[in-house]
Amino acid sequence: MKSSSTVLPGFRLTLAFTILYLLVIVLIPLAGLFVRSATLSADEFIAAVSAPRVMASYRVTFLAAFAAALINAVFGFLIAWVLVRYKFAGKKLCDTLIDLPFALPTAVAGIAMAALYAPDGWIGKYLAMMGLQIAFNPYGIVVVLAFVSLPFVVRTLQPVLQDLDKDIEEAALGLGATRAQTFWRVLLPHVAPAWITGVTMALARALGEYGSVIFIAGNLPMVSEIVPVIIVSKLEQYDYAGATAVALVMLLASFALLLLVNVLQGWSARRMRA
Amino acid sequence: MNASLKKQLTEPLWLRVVLITLTFLFLAALVGLPIVIVIIEAFSKGWGAYRDALTQPDVISALKLTLLVAAIAVPLNVVFGLAASWAIAKFEFRGKQLLITLIDLPFSVSPVISGLVYILLFGAHSMMGDWLIRHDIQIIFAVPGLVLATIFVTFPFVARELIPLMQEQGVEQEEAAVLLGANGWQTFRRVTLPNIKWGLLYGVLLCNARAMGEFGAVSVVSGHIKGETTTIPLYVEILYNEYNFVAAFAVASLLLLLGFVTLAAKKIVSRQERGQHGH
């Protein structure tokens, strides 16, 4: 198995421990999910994962996560650009705040957002005057998902923008391109792989989120109920088989996204070297 | 470079001002306001009510439980992270890329599913349920379940900080130490550890923040028994659902503090790291 001829000790021990720990904590428990689903007949499985309330939750979860990822695609790019390219007062504070969603427990974000966007909250009050309601419906879900997935796009784009050679832009200008042309034709294609990777990571994070969503969503069946809430409510009714079946669908969707992120990162790395 | 060319390499002033303003507005609305409202709501009935909310026996026991869970989960994941990064960064073997992907796997699993898998393994209706009940061992709806779910969700943090760092540093220094007669442990402690200490510290901090703040995974395995299996984030939910908003935000302010400490420590660590690399 070992192919290099290093003199360093500890390979067998550390690799064996790594694999054992991975098996016990992650792989065997996840395999249990597949085993448990297999105890359902195909008809039972399909009935469990395609009930109308479950189908509605896929739709709500995916659309809200997608909307949040799109918001971050736009603002994440803007923020990364501003932080890398411009000098201004308060820049360090902005840069630090980007990481808060990683550091702040999701339940705190959930109750804070619910308080802000409730019809009598600081923001909800003004939205209510305009006839808009954010809390206790799918829009509220979008807001908290945009919060929890904020760092991904910014943090994937920042290093790429940082490393971008100014020479390319100078060359484009020297060849007579306008600033706008340089941006669209030269800069954007260069950072696109990292950008798309960040957006996909944000989407993956948003799809599985639970803690922050439950406070603001209202969790109304068919309207604002996300897939993790369905899983939890099935568990509370001791419907373990049903919970497992829905969880399996969700897990496979996450794995598909993970695979996509890996492919995109490979593409991005090749782009960076080229 | 002449001045007019330089000018053309950035955006006109008005556009820069617009973009910076948008950044401020977006961050203020999405990140700033939630921070402010937690603090204001927590103190909305004054300092006395805040102190009362935090000195309830159930809060104290939730705090102790949260610290206990993190005190078990974080060190285990640190040992794992060190072992995994040593094997992956210092040696070549087949299947390495697959191993790295598998280590990252818990990040792409919904927290709710991270808890569910342990219910399927150890719950009353599970494969091992009968055996556990006969031997009077309770894992689900008890502390061991909380610890397992927390280990699962924080599994990759230390490893993924250390692997790229140790790969970048290569093996030359360690090989020199071994050739000069140091044993494996001495090599690790005297050569590797000083090189990775800031990255390790950062990984530990992120791991700890998530361990103390985790909600979904522990919520599924907790059973929500007040004073027994309720961690701080779960207790925030209980208070909120009881419409005890002042107490909910007061307890939440502890978690906000944890977030601030983590961010501040990150700043210090990245400054130290830059200093260490000499640029």
Yes or no: say if B166 and B196 are a contact pair by the CB < 8 Å rule: yes
Convert chain A into a string of H (helix), E (strand) and C (coil).
CECCCCCCCCHHHHHHHHHHHHHHHHHHHHHHHHHHHHCCCHHHHHHHHCCHHHHHHHHHHHHHHHHHHHHHHHHHHHHHHHHHHCCCCCHHHHHHHCCHHHHCCHHHHHHHHHHHHCCCCHHHHHHHHCCCCCCCCHHHHHHHHHHHCHHHHHHHHHHHHHHCCHHHHHHHHHCCCCHHHHHHHHHHHHHHHHHHHHHHHHHHHHHHCCCCHHHHHCCCCCCCCCHHHHHHHHHHCCCHHHHHHHHHHHHHHHHHHHHHHHHHHHHHHHHHHC
Amino acid, single-letter form, for residue B39: I
What are the tens digits of pLDDT across the range A184-219? 888 888 889 889 989 999 999 999 999 999 999 988
Between residues 159 and 198 of chain A, which touch chain B (CB distance below 8 Å)?
166, 169-170, 173, 179
What are the tens digits of pLDDT across the range B113-126? 999 999 999 988 77
What are the tens digits of pLDDT across the range A48-87? 999 999 999 999 999 999 999 999 999 999 999 999 999 9
What are the tens digits of pLDDT across the range B29-38? 999 999 999 9
User: Are B80 and A104 within 8 A, CB to CB?
Assistant: no
SS3 label, residue B124: coil
Between residues 46 and 75 of chain B, which touch chain A (CB distance below 8 Å)?
none
Residues in CB range of B8: below 8 A, 6 or more apart: A173, A179
Chain B contacts of A102, Cβ < 8 Å?
206, 209
Name the token pair of B166. Answer: 């140790």
The β-bridge partners of A2 are B93
Residues in CB range of B135: below 8 A, 6 or more apart: none
Q: Cβ of A157 under 8 Å from any chain B Cβ?
A: no
Yes or no: say if A37 and A248 are a contact pair by the CB < 8 Å rule: yes
Q: How far is CA A113 from CA A7, A39, A71, A166, B261, in A?
A: 55, 40, 17, 40, 21
Residues in chain B with pLDDT values less than 70: 1-8, 276-279
User: Are B109 and A86 within 8 A, CB to CB?
Assistant: no
User: Are B20 and A173 within 8 A, CB to CB?
Assistant: no
Q: What is the pLDDT of residue A171?
A: 83
In this prediction the pTM is: 0.92
Name the token pair of A65. Answer: 């996560």
Is the pLDDT at A32 greater than 80? The verdict is yes
Q: At what angle do helices A150-163 and A138-148 cross, to 10 degrees?
A: 40
Name the token pair of A4. Answer: 């290099």
Q: What is the pLDDT of residue B277?
A: 59
- From B25's Cα to the closest Cα of chain A, the distance in A is 11
User: Are A208 and B111 within 8 A, CB to CB?
Assistant: yes
What are the tens digits of pLDDT across the range B100-157? 989 999 988 999 999 999 999 998 877 788 888 888 888 889 999 999 999 999 999 9
* Closest to A211 measured CA to CA, from A127, A119, A122, A101: A101
At residue A2 the predicted structure's pLDDT band, cuts being 50, 70 and 90, is very low
